[in-house]
A and B are shown apart, each in its own frame.
Chain A
Amino acid sequence: EIVLTQSPATLSLSPGERATLSCRASQSVSTYLAWYQQKPGQAPRLLIYDASNRATGIPARFSGSGSGTDFTLTISSLEPEDFAVYYCQQRRKWPLTFGGGTKVEIK
Protein backbone atom coordinates (compact mmCIF):
# COMPACT_ATOMS: atom_id res chain seq x y z
CA GLU A 1 0.00 0.00 0.00
CA ILE A 2 1.00 3.61 -0.45
CA VAL A 3 2.16 5.16 2.81
CA LEU A 4 1.63 8.89 3.30
CA THR A 5 3.91 10.64 5.80
CA GLN A 6 2.88 14.07 7.03
CA SER A 7 5.16 16.59 8.67
CA PRO A 8 5.43 18.20 11.03
CA ALA A 9 3.15 16.37 13.46
CA THR A 10 2.35 19.68 15.15
CA LEU A 11 2.69 23.23 13.89
CA SER A 12 2.46 26.05 16.43
CA LEU A 13 1.62 29.36 14.79
CA SER A 14 -0.18 32.62 15.48
CA PRO A 15 -3.21 33.98 13.62
CA GLY A 16 -2.12 35.81 10.49
CA GLU A 17 0.95 33.65 10.00
CA ARG A 18 1.56 31.37 7.02
CA ALA A 19 1.24 27.61 7.51
CA THR A 20 3.08 25.12 5.35
CA LEU A 21 2.17 21.43 5.73
CA SER A 22 3.92 18.57 3.99
CA CYS A 23 2.75 15.17 2.77
CA ARG A 24 5.18 12.67 1.28
CA ALA A 25 4.11 9.47 -0.50
CA SER A 26 6.07 6.22 -0.46
CA GLN A 27 5.62 5.99 -4.24
CA SER A 28 4.31 8.30 -6.91
CA VAL A 29 0.63 9.18 -6.68
CA SER A 30 0.80 11.60 -9.64
CA THR A 31 -1.59 14.37 -8.58
CA TYR A 32 -4.12 12.01 -6.99
CA LEU A 33 -3.87 13.63 -3.58
CA ALA A 34 -6.39 15.44 -1.42
CA TRP A 35 -6.30 17.43 1.81
CA TYR A 36 -8.92 17.41 4.57
CA GLN A 37 -9.46 19.53 7.66
CA GLN A 38 -10.91 18.08 10.84
CA LYS A 39 -11.97 19.97 13.93
CA PRO A 40 -12.73 18.30 17.29
CA GLY A 41 -16.05 16.47 17.30
CA GLN A 42 -16.58 17.01 13.59
CA ALA A 43 -16.27 14.90 10.46
CA PRO A 44 -13.45 15.72 8.05
CA ARG A 45 -13.99 18.42 5.43
CA LEU A 46 -12.53 18.20 1.94
CA LEU A 47 -10.29 21.20 1.21
CA ILE A 48 -8.17 20.33 -1.82
CA TYR A 49 -8.40 17.55 -4.41
CA ASP A 50 -6.18 16.49 -7.29
CA ALA A 51 -3.30 18.17 -5.43
CA SER A 52 -4.24 21.76 -6.21
CA ASN A 53 -7.98 22.18 -6.78
CA ARG A 54 -9.99 23.84 -4.04
CA ALA A 55 -13.25 22.12 -3.15
CA THR A 56 -16.51 24.02 -3.26
CA GLY A 57 -16.70 26.84 -0.74
CA ILE A 58 -13.06 26.61 0.40
CA PRO A 59 -11.43 30.03 0.91
CA ALA A 60 -8.62 31.13 -1.39
CA ARG A 61 -6.14 31.26 1.52
CA PHE A 62 -5.93 27.47 1.21
CA SER A 63 -3.76 26.21 -1.64
CA GLY A 64 -2.19 22.92 -2.57
CA SER A 65 0.78 22.03 -4.71
CA GLY A 66 3.00 19.13 -5.68
CA SER A 67 3.04 15.99 -7.76
CA GLY A 68 4.64 12.58 -7.64
CA THR A 69 5.69 12.03 -4.05
CA ASP A 70 5.90 15.49 -2.47
CA PHE A 71 2.94 17.71 -1.70
CA THR A 72 2.29 20.88 0.24
CA LEU A 73 -0.79 22.48 1.75
CA THR A 74 -0.36 26.20 2.37
CA ILE A 75 -2.61 28.43 4.42
CA SER A 76 -1.52 31.91 3.46
CA SER A 77 -2.75 33.73 6.58
CA LEU A 78 -4.20 31.72 9.45
CA GLU A 79 -7.67 32.61 10.62
CA PRO A 80 -8.86 31.54 14.10
CA GLU A 81 -11.10 28.88 12.54
CA ASP A 82 -8.15 27.26 10.73
CA PHE A 83 -6.64 25.75 13.87
CA ALA A 84 -7.41 22.09 13.36
CA VAL A 85 -5.92 18.79 12.21
CA TYR A 86 -5.13 18.32 8.51
CA TYR A 87 -4.90 15.01 6.67
CA CYS A 88 -3.74 14.09 3.19
CA GLN A 89 -5.27 11.17 1.26
CA GLN A 90 -4.29 9.40 -1.96
CA ARG A 91 -6.51 7.70 -4.53
CA ARG A 92 -3.78 6.56 -6.92
CA LYS A 93 -4.06 2.94 -5.84
CA TRP A 94 -6.27 0.77 -3.68
CA PRO A 95 -6.30 0.63 -0.74
CA LEU A 96 -6.93 4.31 -0.29
CA THR A 97 -4.72 5.70 2.44
CA PHE A 98 -4.54 8.74 4.70
CA GLY A 99 -1.54 10.41 6.23
CA GLY A 100 -1.14 10.53 9.98
CA GLY A 101 -2.17 14.18 10.21
CA THR A 102 -0.69 17.55 11.14
CA LYS A 103 -2.16 19.50 14.01
CA VAL A 104 -2.07 23.26 13.55
CA GLU A 105 -2.29 24.80 17.00
CA ILE A 106 -2.32 28.32 18.33
CA LYS A 107 1.07 29.49 19.53
Chain B
Amino acid sequence: EIVLTQSPGTLSLSPGDRATLSCGASHSVSSSFIAWYQQKPGQAPRLLMYGTTNRATGIPDRFRGSGSETEFTLTITRLEPEDFAVYYCQQYGYSPLTFGGGTKVEIK
Protein backbone atom coordinates (compact mmCIF):
# COMPACT_ATOMS: atom_id res chain seq x y z
CA GLU B 1 0.00 0.00 0.00
CA ILE B 2 1.29 3.46 -0.86
CA VAL B 3 1.20 5.71 2.18
CA LEU B 4 0.82 9.43 1.55
CA THR B 5 2.09 11.77 4.26
CA GLN B 6 0.95 15.38 4.14
CA SER B 7 2.72 18.25 5.83
CA PRO B 8 2.22 20.41 7.66
CA GLY B 9 -0.87 19.21 9.46
CA THR B 10 -2.07 22.77 9.85
CA LEU B 11 -1.04 25.93 8.04
CA SER B 12 -1.99 29.25 9.65
CA LEU B 13 -1.92 32.02 7.07
CA SER B 14 -3.62 35.28 6.15
CA PRO B 15 -5.59 36.13 3.02
CA GLY B 16 -3.15 37.11 0.32
CA ASP B 17 -0.42 34.80 1.61
CA ARG B 18 1.15 31.99 -0.38
CA ALA B 19 0.37 28.45 0.81
CA THR B 20 2.64 25.50 0.13
CA LEU B 21 1.27 22.05 0.94
CA SER B 22 3.39 18.92 0.70
CA CYS B 23 2.49 15.30 0.00
CA GLY B 24 5.11 12.58 0.34
CA ALA B 25 4.63 9.08 -1.02
CA SER B 26 6.12 5.94 0.54
CA HIS B 27 6.90 4.62 -2.94
CA SER B 28 7.32 6.32 -6.28
CA VAL B 29 4.06 7.25 -7.99
CA SER B 30 3.79 8.45 -11.54
CA SER B 31 2.82 12.11 -11.60
CA SER B 32 -0.06 11.08 -13.83
CA PHE B 33 -1.75 9.53 -10.82
CA ILE B 34 -1.76 12.26 -8.17
CA ALA B 35 -4.85 14.32 -7.37
CA TRP B 36 -5.69 16.99 -4.82
CA TYR B 37 -9.07 17.64 -3.22
CA GLN B 38 -10.43 20.51 -1.15
CA GLN B 39 -12.94 19.91 1.62
CA LYS B 40 -14.83 22.51 3.62
CA PRO B 41 -16.68 21.73 6.86
CA GLY B 42 -19.86 19.75 6.29
CA GLN B 43 -19.19 19.41 2.57
CA ALA B 44 -18.01 16.65 0.28
CA PRO B 45 -14.50 16.83 -1.11
CA ARG B 46 -14.05 18.71 -4.37
CA LEU B 47 -11.54 17.82 -7.03
CA LEU B 48 -8.89 20.53 -7.46
CA MET B 49 -6.05 18.96 -9.41
CA TYR B 50 -5.39 15.74 -11.28
CA GLY B 51 -2.34 14.33 -12.98
CA THR B 52 -0.33 16.51 -10.55
CA THR B 53 -0.51 19.70 -12.61
CA ASN B 54 -3.95 19.80 -14.24
CA ARG B 55 -6.63 21.98 -12.71
CA ALA B 56 -10.15 20.59 -12.62
CA THR B 57 -12.97 22.46 -14.29
CA GLY B 58 -13.60 25.83 -12.70
CA ILE B 59 -10.53 25.83 -10.48
CA PRO B 60 -8.74 29.21 -10.56
CA ASP B 61 -5.15 29.46 -11.68
CA ARG B 62 -3.91 30.48 -8.25
CA PHE B 63 -3.90 26.73 -7.54
CA ARG B 64 -0.78 25.06 -8.91
CA GLY B 65 0.45 21.52 -8.58
CA SER B 66 3.93 20.17 -9.03
CA GLY B 67 6.17 17.25 -8.12
CA SER B 68 7.28 13.80 -9.15
CA GLU B 69 8.04 10.33 -7.84
CA THR B 70 7.67 10.67 -4.06
CA GLU B 71 7.27 14.41 -3.49
CA PHE B 72 4.30 16.45 -4.61
CA THR B 73 3.25 20.00 -3.82
CA LEU B 74 0.08 22.04 -4.01
CA THR B 75 0.69 25.78 -4.05
CA ILE B 76 -1.98 28.42 -3.60
CA THR B 77 -0.25 31.54 -4.82
CA ARG B 78 -2.48 34.08 -3.10
CA LEU B 79 -5.02 32.87 -0.58
CA GLU B 80 -8.59 34.03 -0.96
CA PRO B 81 -11.08 33.81 1.94
CA GLU B 82 -12.80 30.82 0.29
CA ASP B 83 -9.54 28.84 0.18
CA PHE B 84 -9.43 28.18 3.91
CA ALA B 85 -10.24 24.48 4.06
CA VAL B 86 -8.68 21.04 4.36
CA TYR B 87 -6.71 19.69 1.42
CA TYR B 88 -6.07 16.03 0.64
CA CYS B 89 -3.70 14.47 -1.84
CA GLN B 90 -4.55 11.11 -3.38
CA GLN B 91 -2.78 8.53 -5.50
CA TYR B 92 -4.80 6.54 -8.00
CA GLY B 93 -2.06 4.58 -9.68
CA TYR B 94 -2.07 1.58 -7.38
CA SER B 95 -4.65 -0.40 -5.45
CA PRO B 96 -5.66 0.37 -2.82
CA LEU B 97 -6.26 3.96 -3.76
CA THR B 98 -4.98 6.04 -0.88
CA PHE B 99 -5.34 9.55 0.49
CA GLY B 100 -3.03 11.62 2.60
CA GLY B 101 -4.08 12.63 6.09
CA GLY B 102 -4.88 16.18 5.03
CA THR B 103 -3.54 19.69 5.59
CA LYS B 104 -5.81 22.24 7.18
CA VAL B 105 -5.30 25.77 5.93
CA GLU B 106 -6.67 28.09 8.59
CA ILE B 107 -6.92 31.83 8.97
CA LYS B 108 -4.14 33.26 11.09
**Do A and B truly interact?**
no
A residues lining the B interface (CB < 8 Å): none
B residues lining the A interface (CB < 8 Å): none
